[in-house]
Structure 1
């Protein structure tokens, strides 16, 4: 990535990603990676990562999500060589990072940008000088630094803050400077370590929009770790769920969020649309159908089917009375997703007809129980 390309992008956006990524060499690849640390306070060895296999597609935004202590930070430190795996291989653009000497590792690190939760700006340096810092360390001359930093200030929307100090900037502005600094060495991979955790929701949305623009216009691969589900569903095309040092689920974000199989994923997704049933319903629900009872059905709407009036057609086509009890519509990785809990008054044979009708139109359903 160079600034000439960046300037051209502003006028005529270019897709610098190679094809759809299906046959391109991954930007990052973990091959059976384990990381163990020495004995902790209990005297036992600490297993931070355990036999991790993971691919970060080139040109993608990939998210790693998990609880505190799940192994997220260790995983990202292996990518830039701050930690070395106990076993396995960590490949960045085809290079095994763990096998590099210090000189070659410095070269790889220049191709990796890093943004942090708490910005890590130097209070004694202006916005311009904070962005220029990695270039100064690399021995770049002042004229080149000027040519590289000025467009970056414009990219993050802070040209007018060039000479301001961190104490004069808001949290969102500090993070934008941090992002510009991460781009200063013209990296091909951008790592984000809980970069929005210290920001309010509105500022978070603006930072995610900026990262999306960087990924789209510059073709930069973004790997982010977070515990915030909103971040993943807003920006990431791919996601991996980590728990106890193991990847328990991974794939396209929409597929993982709407068809998750692991309990950890289900727990992390607790705040998404329709995941919680109202107490007035659960307190009356049983597992046994009796004459005259209502069947409580959870219906999942995905993609293009999320906006189709299928429940209305249960009444018009099958003569089944449908009452909506709870639900919501959301958007995951740019695709609509909805979950409704409905009450159906019909015999079990008609309930089966209703579920088959929904399945024929691409909607999945699940019987949650029965209420008299």
Structure 2
């Protein structure tokens, strides 16, 4: 597989380091007893910065360390070494009283909602305020607007059994916002929801981020979630951050093998098996070359395909194409084929160089 015009800039060590909300510094976490050789290393030296006001995603396979990492932020797990800081506060140095104070500034939403079935939506949202000793009048002043914010003002007296999955998650979000946190953690919060409901929850999280200036840190194995909502992303594998950067850069130009594997079905055009099964790495006379053209930024809105045809001749087949949005930016890819002769290839490569198109030679077919 040959790539052109895909020069990769170094992976940033810490996006948003000038104003961090969360800092992971050489974080390790080991479960079990190392002395008895029964230990398991979940995190093996994680360095990562979550910028204040951002929506940041951490993606990885099951068992990669995602959940452990996010649970260190509010002290649900204690790290083995290194440092986790939230808004400048060293989480590992806090006693139980300090952790209770921290958790009022760090909200969390869960995959399975974690609502109390015996309490109404109103009472579930009120629960963290009751625990904090807030007066009944103050609770009343806060809970109603929170339910309105998540679109459930008319469901205040409904019990969880009377709510849909999406409505339960909205109650969970309202509850997480009750103590006016500056950071919201999302632990696979949309994994139990259907695609339409997931989209509505993501829109709600974007609204909260924009209107309240709330920093959101989410972990997920759903690439569509990160692609839709996150401004930056980190990829975790075997307890280490193996790649990080802006969501657009990571999704359109993944460099680590794990990232490429995770994103293989999430971005770009997919070719049918009858095409890929016939691909060859080298050409023989009479073959056609298959090339993926990538469009983003200014190139996404230019009639470059028509210009390619005009440049190299009419014998250009369009095999597949798609256009999508990644972190609010347009991204498209198109797979074309044309004769793999030296003359046509030279004209095509000259056109790609002149226009700045990103291309990838997929192989050759008879």
TM-score by length of 1: 0.90
- Equivalent runs, 1:56-135 vs 2, <5 Å: 56-135=50-129
Deviation at 1:320, TM superposition (A): 5.9
Distance 2:85 2:314 in 1: 56
The aligned counterpart of 2:351 is 357
Q: Residue 14 of structure 1 aligns with which residue?
A: none
Q: Which runs of 5+ in 2 are unaligned?
A: 1-14
The structure, 1 or 2, with the larger RCO (C-alpha pairs under 8 Å, 6+ apart) is 2
Is 2:294–2:331's contact at 8 Å kept on the other side of the alignment? yes
1:177 and 1:136 map into 2 onto residues whose CA distance is 16
Paired residue for 1:138? Answer: 132
**1:292–1:345 Cα contact (<8 Å) kept:** yes
Per-residue deviation, residues 60-90 of structure 1 (Å, max 9, x unmatched): 0001111111100000010001112111110
Whole-Å separation in 1 of the counterparts to 2:18 and 2:180? 20
Match of 1:28 among 22, 34, 41: 22
1:359 Cα shift? 3.7
CA offset at residue 108 of structure 1? 1.0
Instruction: State which drifts further: 349-358 or 250-259.
Output: 349-358
Q: Could you tell me whether the CA contact under 8 Å between 2:290 and 2:338 is conserved in 1? A: yes
Residue matched to 1:219: 213
Aligned residue for 1:9? none
CA contact under 8 A between 2:184 and 2:216: conserved in structure 1?
A: yes
Deviation at 1:22, TM superposition (A): 5.0
3-state SS, counterpart of residue 205 of structure 1: helix
Using the alignment, how far apart are the partners of 1:356 and 1:52 within structure 2?
43
Aligned partner of 2:231 in structure 1 is 237
Conserved? CA contact 2:252–2:267, under 8 Å: no
CA gap of 1:359–1:253, structure 2 versus 1, over 3 A, is farther
Q: Which moved more, 1:299-308 or 1:164-173?
A: 299-308
Q: Tell me, in whole angstroms, the C-alpha distance in 2 between the residues paired with 1:91 and 1:23.
A: 13
Distance 2:353 2:145 in 1: 52
Q: Which residue of 1 aligns with 2:333?
A: 339
Q: Which stretch of the first structure deviates more once superposed, 354-363 or 249-258?
A: 354-363
- The aligned residue for residue 167 of structure 1 is 161
* 1:102-154 Cα shifts (integer Å, max 9, x gaps): 11121111100000111111111111110000000000001111111111011
| Number of the residue aligned with 1:12 | none
Partner of 1:295: 289
Match of 2:150 in 1: 156
Confirm whether residue 46 of structure 1 aligns to residue 33 of structure 2: no
Deviation of 1:292 after TM superposition, in Å, equals: 2.3
Structure 1: runs of 5 or more not aligned: 1-20
Which among 284, 303, 313 is matched to residue 309 of structure 1? 303
Deviation at 1:275, TM superposition (A): 5.3
Deviation string 1:250-296 (CA, Å, 9 cap, x unpaired) is 11000000000111111111222445432222222222222222111
Instruction: List 4+ stretches of structure 1 deviating above 4 A.
Output: 21-24
Deviates more, 1:319-328 or 1:329-338: 319-328
Q: CA deviation at 1:346?
A: 4.8
Cα RMSD (Å):
1.8
Worse-matched range after superposition: 349-358 or 287-296: 349-358
